[in-house]
Amino acid sequence: MQSITTKYVGPSNTRGARIKATSASGISAVVPFDYGMATEVEAHGLAVQALAKRLGWSGTMIAGSTKDGYVFVFENGHKIRL
């Protein structure tokens, strides 16, 4: 499985704000930004869910923030002890 990165895309003259989720292979999904979500990471999670459904992926993902958005990785991935 690959990681998924997300980023917020601001509104334009013709489209509202949205979240773009992209897999490491470059496949992406875009969803409208949901202002009703309790946290920003939950709003990004909706885009991840849309992309994972498109790719046929399932499982628990863990999120971490980046300067541009978030990165999501599967919980059962390789573990590195620090």
- Residue 82 covered by a domain: no
Angle in degrees, CA 55, 9, 19, rounded to 5: 35
- Residue 80 covered by a domain: no
C-alpha to C-alpha distance for 20 and 16, rounded to whole angstroms? 13
C-alpha to C-alpha distance for 47 and 49, rounded to whole angstroms? 5
H helices, E strands: number in the chain: 1, 5
- Tens digits of residue pLDDT in 23-69: 999 999 999 999 998 899 999 999 999 999 999 999 899 999 999 99
- Residue 28 covered by a domain: yes
The number of domains in the chain is 1
What domain range is 62 assigned to? 4-74
pLDDT of 11 above 90: yes
Label residue 76 by pLDDT band (50, 70, 90). Answer: confident
